[in-house]
Homo-oligomer: A and B are copies of this chain.
């Protein structure tokens, strides 16, 4: 797959729809993506299956001018190869994650893509939006300056705003590019980060860290938020795994000797 990724596509965020319900919205999403030059759409467990006739009708031919849509089973696999993902949501979350309006988020996407790293924008289902677990898997929250009493956008409208904001930000970004060289050039992928967190969780479980054990998901979520905010490079994630291994090594042996 990576062979097919052009430099132009590298610079673009991938649009990811989690459990979209209406084919019309998937089609309208594709159309407006293509209007603003976005080429890669991923779908997680679409309710009505894939491909979808209503989607094709609404897309006005956009699918033929984009990368083939890929369907995934869950968020983790859908974002595994991306280095930076924003959850697009209007709802307030009690999470220690940066909350960005479009201009700032697109600035960050450009900064990141200048280092060769790929970004994604994750949108939730029409009725329910994104779950806290889905938001937790992301690095930050992209939110729009909506009316406080009427904040829920139609799904494809939400994508339209993001696609426009991305395209609109390109011109302003070009002149600033020289500033970006200092940013590391190998941000960890979501898969690498998730692997490190899985490792940490396993060691914490065997160390009896979670009491009561029901607290584990929330505490791991907090740690995930903390580490993803740091935007670690692949090398830093390897270092962290080394740290976890070193700190745990003795305890493991002690258990072996029991």
Contact = CB atoms under 8 A, between A and B. Distances in A.
Interface of A: 28, 31-32, 34-37, 58, 60-62, 65, 95-104, 141, 143-147, 149-154, 156-157, 160-161, 164-165, 167-168, 170-172, 174-176, 178-179, 181-184, 200, 203-204, 207-209, 219, 222-223, 226-227, 229-233, 236, 239-240, 242-244, 246-255, 257
Q: Sort A-B residue pairs by CB-CB distance and give the 3 closest, nearest first.
A: A250-B251, A230-B230, A101-B175
Question: Residue among A203, A204, A243 with the most chain B CB within 10 A?
Answer: A243
Contact of A219 (B203, B226, B239, B244): B239
B147 A204 contact: no
A219 B15 CA distance: 37
B233 A230 contact: no
Contact of A150 (B35, B143, B178): B35
Question: Residue among A145, A174, A208, A255 with the most chain B CB within 10 A?
Answer: A145
Contacts of A36: 144-147
A160 B170 CA distance: 19
A35 B146 contact: yes
14 contacts: A35-B146, A37-B146, A96-B183, A97-B182, A100-B179, A101-B171, A101-B174, A104-B176, A143-B178, A157-B157, A160-B161, A161-B161, A230-B230, A247-B251
A168 B200 CA distance: 41
Contact of A222 (B170, B200, B239): B239
A195 B9 CA distance: 43
Contacts of A34: 147, 150
B104 A236 contact: no
A182 B141 CA distance: 9
Contact of A98 (B100, B151, B182, B209): B182
Given A164-B164, A200-B243, A253-B254, 4 more contacts: A34-B147, A102-B168, A209-B243, A222-B236
Contacts of A227: 230
Contact of A160 (B104, B160, B242): B160
Contacts of A240: 226
A59 B174 CA distance: 35
Given A34-B150, A35-B147, A160-B161, A178 B100 contact: yes
A224 to B, nearest CB: 11
A107 B132 CA distance: 37
Contacts of A65: 149-150
